[in-house]
């Protein structure tokens, strides 16, 4: 099993540009999560999907953030326009039904200058 | 408002000694707790969990203790090894618990 795959690993962009982060969950997992990690706030849940349907997006900081899951094997997190305060590490995670632990990808380090 | 608190940002322990990482929570609805370990440039990986119906769960060198009345849990690592040096995240959930709340992490350094 390849695990959760995220791309790109690093993204450097200028303020105002659109940024798209990508995630491929573990095959067979029903849940997909997007987290953001910062020094001050740790790991924050942004949004999660169940069977490709967004269930809770209350953690999405602003309308500049959007996430989609067009099928069971792919999800995107988009920031448009990006701002310097969006600089963080963004993690995607997936899990199966029930109280199963999250499996995280290796993250995308986003730097907005 | 942080519902899961890890008040020690860092901890240093000698190899072979016990490492104790602490976590406090405020939400009484939490009934399932987990610890994750994170190495630099990698995602967190699941380490151990405990349900609120238990007060202890053990897995090899790792033991998690839960004190529900104090809303406190701790992770014990015995004996500590240099490979245990990582950031440890405490996490909590409730009900179907798919929505898990994380603490900000504690960086453990095990000195050879």
Sort out which chain B residues have CB atoms less than 8 A from A103's CB and list them.
46
Q: Say if residues A89 and A68 touch (Cβ distance below 8 Å).
A: no
- pLDDT for res A1: 63
Query: pLDDT category, B2, cuts 50, 70, 90?
Result: confident
pLDDT tens, residue by residue, B13-65: 999 999 999 999 999 999 999 999 999 999 999 999 999 999 999 999 999 99
- Give the lowest-confidence range in A1-5, A91-95, B34-38, B54-58: A1-5
Burial A53-88 (b: 16+ CB within 10 A, else e): eeeeeebbeeeebebebeebeebebebeebeeebbb
- pLDDT for res B96: 64
- According to DSSP, the residues that pair with A53 across neighbouring strands are A50
Nearest to A106 among B43, B49, B102 (CB): B43
Other Cβ atoms within 10 Å of A18 Cβ, number: 11
* B111 class by beta-carbon count within 10 Å (0-12 exposed, 13-18 middle, 19+ buried): exposed
- pLDDT for res A100: 82
Mutate one of A38, A99, A109 to test the B interface: name it (highest B CB count within 10 A): A99
Average pLDDT over residues B72-85: 98
Scanning B38-67 for CB atoms below 8 A from A yields: 41-46, 49
pLDDT tens, residue by residue, A43-89: 999 999 999 999 999 999 889 999 999 999 999 999 999 999 999 99
Q: Which of A12, A26, A20, A10 is nearest to A93 (CA)?
A: A26
Q: Tokens for B66? A: 């839960």
């Amino acid at each position: 099993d390849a695990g959760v795959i995220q791309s790109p690993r690093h993204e450097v962009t200028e303020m105002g540009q659109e940024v798209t982060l990508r995630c491929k969950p573990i095959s067979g997992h029903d849940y997909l999560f997007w987290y953001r990690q910062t020094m001050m706030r740790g790991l924050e849940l942004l949004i999660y999907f169940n069977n490709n349907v967004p269930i809770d997006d209350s953690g999405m900081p602003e309308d500049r953030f959007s996430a989609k899951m067009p099928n069971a094997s792919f999800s995107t997190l988009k920031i448009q326009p990006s701002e310097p305060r969006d600089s963080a590490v963004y993690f995607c995670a997936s899990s199966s039904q029930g109280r199963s632990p999250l499996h995280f990808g290796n993250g995308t380090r986003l730097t907005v200058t | 408002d942080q519902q899961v608190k890890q008040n020690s940002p860092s901890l240093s322990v000698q190899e072979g000694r016990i490492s104790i990482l602490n976590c406090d929570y405020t939400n009484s609805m939490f009934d399932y707790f987990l610890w994750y370990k994170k190495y630099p440039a990698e995602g967190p990986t699941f380490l151990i969990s405990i349900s609120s119906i238990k007060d202890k769960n053990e897995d090899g060198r790792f033991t998690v203790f839960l004190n529900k009345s104090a809303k406190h849990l701790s992770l014990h690592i015995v004996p500590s090894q240099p490979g245990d040096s990582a950031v440890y995240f405490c996490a909590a959930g409730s009900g179907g618990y798919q929505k898990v709340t994380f603490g900000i992490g504690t960086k453990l350094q095990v000195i050879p």
